[in-house]
Structure 1
């Protein structure tokens, strides 16, 4: 099993980016290499192509992108679409994948808002040898799908020598560290569901499409197809584990395609979440915009506003979903509990869902916490004032969310309740200070 991976650059496989000395300025999107069988079997393929075309048209119209930023976008779009076609061709040519030969085990989806402790919790939950969380290589090099034990797996990370990209990776990792288990947002990327933050400041077309939660069935049809494929070669003993805040934008669609899925939602004080989310957005976007431009403040202002809007939509979608689905299978985790008592918190999750605990699992979590201390891949600092925020305005704007999830007395329920909080227990096994968000 691999021990090192390389994170993607916003929406694609970084291995396809450099060192080609000729920087790309445009994309070529064509479905000629999608088999006739795949086109018939997967009628959503045309919507995926349209999604990529929409992203390319709008983002490449932004003349504020740096040459390398434009290149990164072009290569990642093409790589994601290629991966999509490879997956659809593979599944179409393997008819057994449409049969119940490899049934999907229970699915657990970690879908707290960004910067609420999901990365820490995801990596701890993925320590269970009886579960499976997708590796980055599973998603960025998907065909042929490989079992975790496959000896042909390689540590495919390739360190880039370009100093610009190296600086970018360092700053990005300080906000969002890279680990071998990555978010299944990499699967959604392959359906054309890309981050909408790169369109020009005066444009809203891409964001309007992206945040529309009534038209993303095609993305989750592809997601389910992808999951069937990788499950067919390596079915976990107990359950699948997925994680990305992207699912929050389309929770109803997620549940429609995975009706038996159980959700785990993390919650953190929003006066910490909002500036942290903005800082992450600035780190990810830094390579796409020129900080030395005389009007560089426009780009920073745009990214700040768009990250705040993204978090605002996430918070509102969580509240709306929980109002409408009061009996959904959801477990709530408080960030403070997770940070103070991470293993106890995971134990609460396992107890709630009736999952089997093992000594091997617990020891793996202890080892992971020891090997991944706070700030191992860098740290970022941030304040409310830096982004024009105040504690009072946040409290007022998100009063309902705070009341629903951050007031212990409101979210701690009896054993009969479908939703619980990860309540701290007196028997602490190991603690961390502020760790991976």
Structure 2
């Protein structure tokens, strides 16, 4: 039996007294432009993706008023990120000439130890992790190119999650200064699996499944170049279960990559993941049906596994397998094992 956190009193009062309007693309675009003081979202802005996403949210997600407010802030922030990113690319076009660092990609099904592995490998010499505040706000804000604004915003997000759902934060702790999933970079293009995790948006998920992921990865590449320009390193340590479904597209755009596939028995990781989704959706909606989560995500998890297995079979040597228990029992031995493999990899610098 899933036990939901009791909503904070302020949220319950807000939901009782406020009736917020549906999300509209024009209003979000205008708001982002006003807040950033910029106009140009860039030549690769995919307004269709935003429109499909908004229609799905408005018609299917069953948001409560405070949830709609949070989603509005999230989407508006992503649009502001696009404005600022495009600003820096135009001001310093040489950013897009940078060669993306080699990538050590951690993937696998959710709740298989990917976060622990990411944080462990991010501490190794030369590693360039994607920190939470960078993933949420990849572009410098303001003419001074400072990080303080982005870090402060991410710390507020961190506190808000703890306040809204202590259970979710206990399952998946989020810290502003720790490595985070690069799927949040795909969010900036409105083409990632994040939304279908935190909201009930089946029509958007169906639309996304039929799209070529290459365009979203092309935008992620530009953001990685922007992030390298701000803070270089020897190689990226990136992580997201999202990539397991799209490894061919990822490796086509980032050929200097090596994947680490984390494994855990599905009877352990899948229930844990579905429980996490329930608590994440409860932050946004009063009507969260566990059966809707299962009906959507069980087939998707099957596709992720099938696509990942096919890629590994067709690309021997590109994927390293690590077991969850192996990592939990002796992470030092895992790091030593991986260090030897990484040193021998032509796509990654020797440790």
TM class by smaller structure? 0.7 to 0.9
| Change in 2 beyond 3 A, CA 1:159/1:228 | closer
Instruction: Report what 2:171 is aligned to.
Output: 175
Q: Distance in 1 between matches of 2:71 and 2:141?
A: 25
What is residue 232 of structure 1 aligned with on the other side?
Answer: 229
Q: Give the C-alpha shift of residue 256 in structure 1.
A: 1.1
| d(CA) in 2 for partners of 1:198, 1:267 | 23
Instruction: Identify the match of residue 260 of structure 1 among 256, 259, 265.
Output: 256
TM superposition shift of 1:356: 4.8
Match of 1:131 in 2: 127
8 Å CA contact retained: 1:60, 1:70: no
How far apart are 1:35 and its partner, in Å? 3.2
Give the conservation status (yes or no) of the 8 Å contact 1:69–1:287. yes
Q: What residue number does 1:366 align with?
A: none
Q: Would you tell me which structure has more helix in proportion to its own residues?
A: 2
CA contact (8 A) 1:135 1:181 kept: yes
Contact 1:116-1:268 at 8 Å conserved across structures? yes
SS in 1 for 2:156: coil
1:35 aligns with 2:40: yes
Cα distance change, pair 239–161 in 1 and its aligned pair in 2 (3 A): closer
Mapped to 2, the partners of 1:243 and 1:161 lie a distance apart of 23
Q: CA 1:173/1:322 → structure 2, altered by over 3 Å: closer, same or farther? A: same
Distance 1:120 1:145, change over 3 A: farther
Q: Which deviations, in whole Å up to 9, do the C-alpha atoms of 1:311-369 show, x marking residues without a partner?
A: 222212212222332x2421110111111111111111111110655xxxxxxxxxxxx
Select 1:305's aligned residue among 272, 290, 295: 295
- TM-score scaled by length of structure 1: 0.65
Distance (whole Å) between structure 2 residues aligned to residue 161 and residue 136 of structure 1: 13
Matched, 1:76 2:66: no
User: How far, CA to CA, are the matches of 1:74 and 1:138 in structure 2?
Assistant: 20
**What are the ranges of 5 or more consecutive residues in structure 2 without an aligned counterpart?**
1-17, 344-348
Aligned: 1:272 with 2:277: no
Q: Give 1:216's match in structure 2, choosing from 213, 237, 242.
A: 213
User: Whole-Å Cα distance in 2 between the matches of residues 183 and 88 of structure 1?
Assistant: 22
1:74-223 aligned within 5 A: 74-99=72-97, 102-144=98-140, 155-156=151-152, 157-158=155-156, 166-179=162-175, 180-194=178-192, 195-197=195-197, 204-212=202-210, 215-223=212-220
Quick one: distance in 2 between partners of 1:111 and 1:161?
27
C-alpha distance in structure 1 between counterparts of 2:157 and 2:207, whole Å: 35
- CA displacement at 1:275 relative to structure 2: 0.6
Counterpart Cα distance in 2 of 1:346 and 1:114: 21
Q: Deviations over 1:221-268 (max 9, x none)?
A: 1100000111112210x2111101111222111111101211111111
Match of 2:325?
336
Label 1:69 to 1:224 Cα distance change in 2 as closer, same or farther (>3 A): same
Equivalent residue for 2:8?
Answer: none
Shift of 1:26: 1.7
Structure 1 66/309 Cα, relative in aligned 2: closer, same or farther at 3 Å? farther
* Structure possessing the higher radius of gyration over alpha carbons: 1
Distance 1:343 1:198, change over 3 A: closer
Aligned equivalents of 2:122, 2:222: Cα separation in 1: 22
In 1, are the aligned partners of 2:122 and 2:179 still within 8 Å (CA)?
Answer: yes
Task: Describe the superposition over 1:108-164 as per-residue Cα deviations: whole angstroms up to 9, x where unpaired.
Answer: 111121111101111100112411101112132333289xxx8858752137888xx
| Alignment partner, residue 60 of structure 2 | 62
Instruction: Quote the offset at 1:23 in angstroms.
Output: 5.2
